[in-house]
Each structure stands twice: as structure tokens, then as C-alpha cells.
A and B are shown apart, each in its own frame.
Chain A
Amino acid sequence: GESVGLHLPTLSVQEGDNSIINCAYSNSASDYFIWYKQESGKGPQFIIDIRSNMDKRQGQRVTVLLNKTVKHLSLQIAATQPGDSAVYFCAERANTGNQFYFGTGTSLTVIP
């Protein structure tokens, strides 16, 4: 199977600061990536996605960066708010099938 991992299992940031969550993937054939947010006891919620033909994509307060050379993905959250506290997962899809593979997640805690 695929191997998707995260550099840091936990991250604490001060409210108002920017957050950066990193993710490494192993399959160079992966063509599509998604970041999810999961609050306690709930299913993951889609945040933002990026295709392999892009390096950067921006949403509302979030930016995803893709570095295919080193197979690295990051999620940047601007002006982090207490409501951003959750576990964040990256997921990759290999261009050979319908499966997505998820990393173990990073737990983000926002300190008021």
C-alpha cells in the first residue's frame, strides 16, 4: 500500500499565528492530494485539494503547497483560530486506481 506520513504528530500555536502542517508521501505516481480536518468524534471534513500539475493552491485562510521533487505536501493556515483545533490529515491518490491513502494525522491545538 501507499505510505503517507506526517512529520509532526502534534502542533501547538498561539491564536492569530500562522500554522504549517507537513506531510510526506512516498508514491511519485500520486496525482491528487487532499487535506482533511477531523474534529473529535466526527468524520473528516474536506479542506482543500491540489492536483499534481500544480505547486500551490489557496482557499479561505488555507494554502496547500506541493513539492513533487521531494514528495512533500504542506497545509498553511493563516491567523489560526481556536476553531481550527483538530486533527489534520493529508491523503494521496495514486493515478492507478480509486483508492486514497491517509497519513496518521497531526493534532493542532490553538492556544487562546
Chain B
Amino acid sequence: SQTIHQWPATLVQPVGSPLSLECTVEGTSNPNLYWYRQAAGRGLQLLFYSVGIGQISSEVPQNLSASRPQDRQFILSSKKLLLSDSGFYLCAWGGGFNIQYFGAGTRLSVL
């Protein structure tokens, strides 16, 4: 069966520090991978999606970047965090065009 791993679960970082969140998927190959951000009490905002290794599409201009160095690995990064980067970050994978599986999320607090 397919599983998705996302870590860390919580993270507290100072403003200006770098960020690296990792997401890995097991049990499937060539998945579509997604990074979302969720502000408190809000819906999910799509940040990046990837249909294959090295292929990244960005939905909104921002302080973040994404990379997909391996088929089942998706990384969200920042060189210098801003206060506004705080939020709940979710990784998801979809087979074909269907998102059905989300990771447990990373709650990021930038102080």
C-alpha cells in the first residue's frame, strides 16, 4: 500500500534562517507531488506541484522553492524565512490526476 511521510511534525525557526521540509512517498512510482500551505482557519493554498523528477511548477510567487531530486522525494526550501512563512505545510501525492493522500503536515512557526 502507498504511504506518505512528511517531517518534521513541528518546527520553530528564527526569521532569516533556512528551511528544508522533506516529503517521501512509498508504494507508488511516478506520482504527482504537491506542497500546500494552510494558514490557521483557512483552506489549502497550492504552492508547488511536480509531475516528475526535476519538474516543478510554482503556483504563487513567494519566498519558497521546491525540488524533486528523486521520483518519490519532494523538498520544500527557503534560504531566508519570513514571519509570513508560518503555517501548516502539507505534502500530498496523486496517482494520475487524483489527490487522495496527504501527509500528516509540518507546523512551522517563524519567530
Where the two chains meet, the residues of A that have a C-beta atom closer than 8 Å to any C-beta of B are 1, 4, 32, 34, 36, 41-46, 49, 89, 91, 93, 98-105
Contacts and interface: CB of A to CB of B under 8 A. Distances in A.
Contacts, number: 55
Contacts of A102: 36, 43-46
Q: Tell me if B's interface is mostly helix, strand, loop or mixed.
A: strand
B32 A98 contact: yes
Interface residues of B, number: 26
Given A91-B44, A101-B46, 8 more contacts: A42-B105, A43-B105, A45-B102, A91-B99, A98-B51, A99-B49, A100-B99, A105-B43
Contact of A43 (B32, B42, B102): B102
Interface string B86-106: 000010101001111111110
A36 B101 CA distance: 10
30 contacts: A4-B43, A32-B97, A32-B98, A34-B98, A36-B102, A41-B105, A41-B107, A42-B104, A43-B102, A44-B90, A44-B102, A45-B102, A89-B43, A89-B44, A91-B99, A98-B32, A98-B51, A98-B57, A98-B94, A98-B97, A99-B46, A100-B34, A100-B46, A101-B46, A102-B36, A102-B45, A103-B43, A104-B42, A105-B42, A105-B43
Q: Which of A41, A44, A102, A105 has the most CB of B within 10 A?
A: A44
